[in-house]
Amino acid sequence: MVILHDSMIRFPALLALKCLQLRGLGILALKSKSFLLNLSPEAKSLLDICQSLWESRFRSADVCRLSEDKLLHEYAEDFLEKLNYDGLLMLSLLTWHFNASVHNFPTAALPPRELLEFFSRSTGNLEQLCEILWSRYNAFSERKLTLGAFKAKFKKLVSFLEHGSGLYFLASSR
């Protein structure tokens, strides 16, 4: 077992957080028109970037716009501070699964296109991904989890981060 230093997992976790936030914001925008009325101008601008991303199939110019969004970065930083090592590790493993180069180049500010695409689809495909991430997680975690326990913990984390985004944006618009 090798415990990764916080500095190695924070940035990849930040990228995964941003992707999850976009998914959560998109879900809320589709479900509730009243949600859109209560957003700040900054949050509406971020939602416009999200829609451009989805419509363009994650064109690099739109991904660049996303990486420069201040509100998205503040959101991700706020949530990042609330996560323990296990949460940071899970999110980092998620990012590295889709783009291992993020591990080698921690200054790249763009979320991996493959990760954005993954979260643009239903999270029903988390099952297979959990099996892949589980063995990697156990290699870097102080606590060994069964596959079932890992799946439950990972899904809970993803769900919390997806749904927490709406509350964050409503709170920040007041």
pLDDT tens per residue, range 53-108: 878 888 888 788 888 888 888 888 888 998 999 999 999 999 999 887 655 544 45
Question: How many distinct structural domains can be found in the chain?
Answer: 1
Whole-model pTM? 0.83
Host domain of residue 82:
6-172
Q: What is the pLDDT of residues 1-53, one digit of tens each?
A: 678 888 889 999 999 998 888 887 777 777 767 767 777 888 888 888 888 88
60 is a domain residue: yes
42 is a domain residue: yes
H/E stretch holding 2: none
Q: How many C-alpha atoms does 107 have within 13 Å on its Cβ side?
A: 0
147 is a domain residue: yes
158 is a domain residue: yes
Please calculate the CA angle 120-125-127 and round it to the nearest 5 degrees. Answer: 145
The DSSP code for 105 is: -
Q: What is the rounded distance in angstroms from the CA atom of residue 93 to the CA atom of residue 71?
A: 24
Written as six digits, the tokens of 171 are: 């709170």
1 is a domain residue: no
85 is a domain residue: yes
146 is a domain residue: yes
143 is a domain residue: yes
